[in-house]
Homo-oligomer: A and B are copies of this chain.
Amino acid sequence: MKNIKISALFLLMGSFALNAQSLKSPDGKFEMNFQLKNGVPFYNLKYQGKTVVEDSKLGLRLLRDGDIKFASEIESKDQKGKDLSEGFTKTAEKFDSKNESWNPIMGEKKSYVNHFNELAVTLNQEANDRYIILKFRLFNDGLGFRYEFPQQKNLNYFIIREEDSEIDLPTDMKAWWLAGDYDSQEYQTQTTNLSEIPAKWPTSYDGNASQSLIKNAVQTPLMLKKEGKDQLYVNIAEAAVINYPASNLELDATEFKFKTHLTPDAQGAKGYMQTPAVSPWRTIIASPKAEEVLASKMIFNLNDPTEYKDTSYIKPTKYMGVWWEMIIGKSQWAYSTANNVHIGKTDFSKLTPNGKHAANNTNVKEYIDFASAHGFDALLIEGWNIGWEDWFGHSKEFVFDFITPYPDFDIKMLNDYAHSKGMKLMMHHETSGSATNYERWADKAFQLMNKYDYPSVKTGYVGNIIPRGEHHYSQWTINHYLRIAEKANEYKIMVNSHESVRPTGLSRTYPNWIAAEAARGTEYEAFGGNNPDHQTILPFTRFMGGPMDYTPGIFQTKLDYYFPGDTRFVKTTLVKQLALYVVMYSPLQMAADLPENYARHLDAFQFIKDVAVDWDDTKILSAEPGDYIHTARKAKGKDEWYVGGITDENTRNYTVDFSFLPKGKKYEATVYADGDDADYINNPQSYKIYKKTVTSKSKLPMKLARSGGYAISVKPVK
């Protein structure tokens, strides 16, 4: 006994001497080990005993520590010895756990489970007499960790030069990645091994209205796969980016090691911190099953519950828009032929109309007629307000006032008209990146929205950010998006932000920030085109932290319909567009095409009219990033299910197993399928619609065309 005791003691001592600590997930499958090596913090991650992440370093380099009296506030020299990256000893550790359910206001399920074991390690840096806390939460779907900086005598204000959180993978892996950038997430996803990224990186992006590329870096969320034996899917992302810049990942492609790379401000500093403060959570979701990655709610679980007092105004929204016709070039946002206008000075009624202004009373009424007749909640109208003549490419600060309509847009009449038909209008605030200007006008802009009962606004950030030198994902701009969300909440307004930062689960804390674009959406089909596998990848990447306003639903995929000889086309079949409403979750969904195209395919349009956008339950039936996704969801508060499946550039067969349905009940499934001869290039509009009675025992074989899909609405038999 004595020997055992002594060795146990030695083990304990050894463990303590090694400053090492272990954490396990609730089901015991994941293990995280924390360790200090020569005063430098490391962690690793194992799944079922196999290494997911090798020993990886943590730490931050600082620009400055402590008060500055009379001197420039940014020093460019390294602060060796003054960084938060070494010289640590572990002085405390605290275990905790939580197992709760919480109900998102809108979501993929009625209720999310938040179940984790937590380890908080206090690290003291003796040389500077200060400490930080590393907090690890291990879920059944993976790991989240963050830095915490408690308020204390010797840590009050500091500026981050760079965060150096590493994720050191043991092997090469298949990766679905975007070129790293401080301003844009709109590149095509690349599919290569990690080792191939440097070679591919230079051709992995195209031009953008605002871009600042980071060589050999990639964006988050990042999707990875270890193929073969011990197959494992790994997703790397971040949660709760608040008062901190968003992070890209630098890659060492020979070591398969990633490191955080924060977005700088105009001066190159990466974060201005006042304690108590925390970093975002760095998240590593892992599973042998791709479906479980898609099903993971870790990123939302790591965000704090909301403190909003009233969330009753936050509602799911299905909308149409005066938008696609401008995107394809059929009409314009601008009203006049001028190219140089002064908000508040130019008399727009005296300008020469260009005859192509889409947001005019007649056109908008037609959209309202159609959208209301088909039960849509709202109509977005872009180009309603003065300023579009020179809105882009000039770094123009006072670019819009967000409150003055063009002469041919009667804001009162159109809102009354929409309301009389049971619909609302959706506001549009394109900021042109001029965030300071938007903040100046936000109160007046939101007051106007309240006056005319606009429940939601689509915002845009096309172009470089003003304050000039800040980036779309800099700390200042992150805080700008949050200020706008909070102010919108004061006015009971929902926000859908385009070209903003990608969501990092913030919809839990800021539930009126209901969606964002922040990736390459449907509009790019009219710009460069989206790869056929694009939509089979995005849910594994962009969607992990929150919904995307992907704006699907294009029926007229070939644009030569409008412009003879035009080679542009949406690279999917019509039916795949229907499936996107199920496969890509958002509480805000657009039927993006022109009414006339829906009118020509009212039978297919019925699916879009029927499909829910808010869910009691979600089943990821089958998924492989870059190849296919098959999803079934139950509409919130209804006995209805919607099933959707999509494929990449390959045809595919898939048998839908309806075992998700309640047992012993009959349902009528309306199936929207690619025609037998459908093809996204050659015959995109070939589809068939048929009904079938199904029960939980039913199986339905589906044939998907190249870049095709299927969509099924399942309702109780009457």
Q: How far is the CB of A273 from chain B (nearest CB, A)?
A: 10
The answer to whether B266 and A467 have CB atoms under 8 Å apart is yes
Interface 1/0 per residue, A152-196 and B, CB below 8 Å: 000011010000000000000000000000000000000000000
- CB neighbours (8 Å) of A156 from chain B are 339-340, 390, 394
Contact A208/B157 with A467-B467, A469-B267 known, Cβ cut-off 8 Å: no
Chain multiplicity (copies): 2
A397 within 8 A of B: yes
A70 within 8 A of B: yes
A204 within 8 A of B: no
The answer to whether B272 and A395 have CB atoms under 8 Å apart is yes
How far apart sit A70 and B151, CA to CA, in the bound complex (Å)?
44
A275 within 8 A of B: yes
Query: Within the complex, which residue of B159, B393, B470 is in contact with A395, where a contact is CB–CB below 8 Å?
Result: B159
Query: Within the complex, which residue of B159, B267, B275, B396 is in contact with A340, where a contact is CB–CB below 8 Å?
Result: B275
What residue in chain B is nearest A396 (Cβ atoms)?
Answer: B274
Interface 1/0 per residue, A55-85 and B, CB below 8 Å: 0000000000001111111000000000000
Q: How far is the CB of A251 from chain B (nearest CB, A)?
A: 24
The answer to whether A265 and B342 have CB atoms under 8 Å apart is no
The answer to whether B266 and A394 have CB atoms under 8 Å apart is no
How far apart sit A209 and B69, CA to CA, in the bound complex (Å)?
7
A476 within 8 A of B: yes
What residue in chain B is nearest A442 (Cβ atoms)?
Answer: B440
The answer to whether B464 and A207 have CB atoms under 8 Å apart is no
The answer to whether A394 and B267 have CB atoms under 8 Å apart is no
Interface 1/0 per residue, A434-448 and B, CB below 8 Å: 001001100100000
Contact A468/B340 with A159-B395, A395-B73 known, Cβ cut-off 8 Å: no
A269 within 8 A of B: yes
Query: Within the complex, which residue of B70, B211, B479 is in contact with A208, where a contact is CB–CB below 8 Å?
Result: B70
Q: How far is the CB of A330 from chain B (nearest CB, A)?
A: 20
Interface 1/0 per residue, A408-449 and B, CB below 8 Å: 000000000000000000000000000010011001000000
**Which residues from 270 to 302 on chain A have a C-beta closer than 8 Å to any C-beta of chain B?**
272, 274-275
How far apart sit A267 and B212, CA to CA, in the bound complex (Å)?
14
Other 18 A-B pairs with CB < 8 A, given A67-B394, A73-B464, A156-B340 = A71-B207, A73-B395, A73-B463, A151-B340, A156-B390, A266-B266, A267-B469, A272-B395, A272-B397, A274-B396, A275-B340, A439-B440, A443-B443, A467-B467, A467-B476, A468-B469, A468-B476, A469-B469
**Interface, chain A (partner B; CB < 8 A):** 67-73, 151, 156-157, 159, 207-209, 211-212, 265-267, 269, 272, 274-275, 339-340, 342, 390, 393-397, 436, 439-440, 443, 463-464, 467-470, 476, 479
Q: Which 10 A-B pairs have the closest CB atoms?
A: A467-B467, A266-B469, A70-B207, A266-B266, A156-B340, A157-B394, A68-B393, A267-B469, A469-B469, A67-B393
